[in-house]
Copies of this chain bind each other. A is one copy, B any other.
Amino acid sequence: MRSNVGRVGERLLPVDPAIRGVAEQLYSLVADAPIISPHGHVPARMLADNHAFENAAELFVTKDHYITRMLHAAGVSLSELSGAEPRSTWRHLAENWHRFAGTASGYWLETELSDVLGITIPICAETADEIYDAVDVVLASPEFRPRELFRRFGVSVLATTDDPLDDLSAHAQLREADLGGHVLPTFRPDIYLDPDAASFGSAVDALLATTAEPATFSGYLAALENRREHFVRHGGVSTDHGVEEPYTLDIDADEAAALFQRVMRREASAADHRAFRGHMLLQMARMSVDDGLVMTVHAGIHRNHSSATFSAFGPDTGHDIPVPTTFTRGMKPLLERYGLEKNLHLVLFTVDETTFSRELAPLAGFYPSVYVGAPWWFLDAPDAILRFRSAVTETAGFYRTSGFIDDTRAFLSIPARHDVARRADVAYLSRLVMERRITLELAERIARDLVDAIPREVFKL
Residues of chain A having any CB pair with chain B under 8 Å:
8, 10-13, 15-16, 18-19, 69-70, 72-75, 98-104, 106-107, 122, 302, 305-309, 318-324, 326, 328-329, 332, 335-336, 339-340, 342, 351-354, 357-359, 361-368, 370, 378-379, 381-384, 387, 390-391, 393-400, 431-432, 434-439, 442, 445-446
Q: A319-B366, A354-B354, A381-B395 are in contact. List 6 more A-B contacts (CB 8 A).
A: A69-B366, A99-B398, A305-B332, A323-B359, A353-B357, A353-B358
Is the Cβ of A69 less than 8 Å from the Cβ of B365? yes
7 contacts between A and B (CB under 8 A): A11-B437, A15-B19, A102-B438, A323-B326, A324-B358, A353-B357, A383-B390
Shortest A357–chain B CB gap in Å is: 6
A361 to B383, CA, bound (A): 14
Residues of B within 8 A of A329 (CB): 302, 323
Is the Cβ of A323 less than 8 Å from the Cβ of B318? no
Shortest A436–chain B CB gap in Å is: 4
Closest to A356 in B: B353
Is the Cβ of B328 less than 8 Å from the Cβ of A323? yes
A362 to B381, CA, bound (A): 14
Is the Cβ of A378 less than 8 Å from the Cβ of B357? yes
Residues of B within 8 A of A361 (CB): 378
Shortest A412–chain B CB gap in Å is: 19
What is the copy number of this chain in the assembly? Answer: 3
A446 to B98, CA, bound (A): 8
Return the contact of A437 from the options B102, B324, B353 (Cβ within 8 A): B102
Residues of B within 8 A of A305 (CB): 328, 332, 335, 363, 366
Is the Cβ of B99 less than 8 Å from the Cβ of A397? yes
- Which of A72, A329, A367, A398 has most chain B Cβ within 10 Å? A367
A263 to B302, CA, bound (A): 33
Is the Cβ of B398 less than 8 Å from the Cβ of A321? no
Return the contact of A399 from the options B10, B98, B319 (Cβ within 8 A): B98
Is the Cβ of B378 less than 8 Å from the Cβ of A306? no
Shortest A334–chain B CB gap in Å is: 12
Closest to A434 in B: B15
Given known A-B contacts A329-B323, A339-B306, A384 and B394 have beta carbons under 8 A apart = yes
Return the contact of A103 from the options B322, B326, B364, B396 (Cβ within 8 A): B396
A400 to B323, CA, bound (A): 20
Return the contact of A73 from the options B10, B302, B366 (Cβ within 8 A): B366
Is the Cβ of A362 less than 8 Å from the Cβ of B322? yes
Is the Cβ of A367 less than 8 Å from the Cβ of B332? no
Residues of B within 8 A of A364 (CB): 73
Is the Cβ of B102 less than 8 Å from the Cβ of A432? yes
Residues of B within 8 A of A381 (CB): 394-395
Return the contact of A365 from the options B73, B351, B368 (Cβ within 8 A): B73
Shortest A94–chain B CB gap in Å is: 14
A318 to B235, CA, bound (A): 36
Return the contact of A398 from the options B102, B362, B378, B397 (Cβ within 8 A): B102
A72 to B367, CA, bound (A): 7
- Which of A99, A103, A107, A358 has most chain B Cβ within 10 Å? A358
Return the contact of A382 from the options B306, B351, B394 (Cβ within 8 A): B394
A378 to B355, CA, bound (A): 12
Is the Cβ of B73 less than 8 Å from the Cβ of A368? yes
Is the Cβ of A442 less than 8 Å from the Cβ of B98? yes
Shortest A308–chain B CB gap in Å is: 6
Closest to A367 in B: B73
Residues of B within 8 A of A339 (CB): 306
A361 to B66, CA, bound (A): 12
Residues of B within 8 A of A10 (CB): 435-436
A70 to B392, CA, bound (A): 13
A323 to B362, CA, bound (A): 11
A322 to B355, CA, bound (A): 9
A322 to B363, CA, bound (A): 9
Shortest A163–chain B CB gap in Å is: 26
Return the contact of A393 from the options B102, B308, B335, B432 (Cβ within 8 A): B102
